Amino acid sequence: MDTVIKILLAADILLGLFFLFPSGFKRKRFYWIKKEISGLILLAGGIVGFYAVYTENSVLLRTVFWSFVGLFSISLGVFDLIKIRICKTMVYGRFVESKISGTGRNRSVTPTFEYTYGGVVYKNESGEDIPPEISKNYETGKPYPIFICENEPYLYITDRNMIGKVIFEIILGIIVLGTAYL
């Protein structure tokens, strides 16, 4: 069991380092910041976790694990909340395709839209995980309203009404973070 934990912590550290290296987000500041913060959380969790394993402190290991799960959930929720807040300008985007991930009840769809803003054509994934029941209504080639950020037009969302999901994610992260210390 100890070996498995060490392997998982090593993977956590490597993933954190991978997130910290620059790649693929040229001129996409929002995604770059989100990636860097996620990388720092994963890296710190892995390092402190290794310390807990080598000092054989199972209480510290449990506390560290749940603390970083809570922090990760809170950070993702905060970034989604920021995205909802800054993506205000409605434009019509042509639906291109969907990427399906997960299986069973955990399936989600990430749509890709093509749209024009300020004379520039953008074709990006939304970065949202949408339940398949909603996304199957999209028809390839048809225009749909999307909300973009004027300062960073590559950034968009398909629905500004998902704030309940985001707040739930933040509250869940706070609860997990709080229970880590019980």
Residue 82 CA to its chain's centroid (Å): 12
> pLDDT at residue 1 above 60?
no
Place of tokens 């706070």: 174
Q: How confident is the model at residue 94 (pLDDT cuts 50, 70, 90)?
A: very high
Kindly report the backbone phi and psi dihedral angles of residue 131, in degrees, each rounded to the nearest multiple of 5, phi listed first: -60, 140
Take residue 103 and report the two structure tokens written for it: 């299986």
Taken as a whole, the chain contains a residue count of 182
CB 125 within 8 A of CB 112: yes
Indicate the range of 22-26, 92-96, 108-112 predicted with least confidence.
Answer: 22-26
Q: What is the mean pLDDT of residues 70-76?
A: 88
The pLDDT score that the predictor gives to residue 83 is 87
Would you say residue 128 has pLDDT above 80? Answer: no
Looking at residue 137, what is its pLDDT? 75
Please give the C-alpha separations between residue 41 and each of 54, 116, 125, 134, in angstroms, as whole numbers. 20, 35, 25, 32
DSSP 77-126: HHHHHHHHHH--EEEEEEEEEEEEES-GGG-EEEEEEEEEETTEEEEEE-
pLDDT in tens, 137-148: 788 899 999 999
- Sequence-distant (6+) residues with CB within 8 A of 31 are 25, 127, 155
* pLDDT above 70: residue 136: no
Specify the higher pLDDT residue, 98 or 85.
85
pLDDT of residue 21: 72
Q: What is the mean pLDDT of the chain?
A: 82
Confidence of residue 43 (pLDDT cuts 50, 70, 90): confident
Q: Do the Cβ atoms of 143 and 92 come closer than 8 Å?
A: yes
pLDDT, tens digit (0-9, with 9 covering 90-100), for 96-123? 988 877 777 777 778 889 999 999 999 9
Query: What's the Cα-to-Cα distance from 149 to each of 52, 81, 82, 104, rounded to whole Å?
Result: 42, 13, 11, 33
pLDDT of residue 52: 81
SS3 144: strand
Note whether 10 and 27 are within 8 A (CB): no
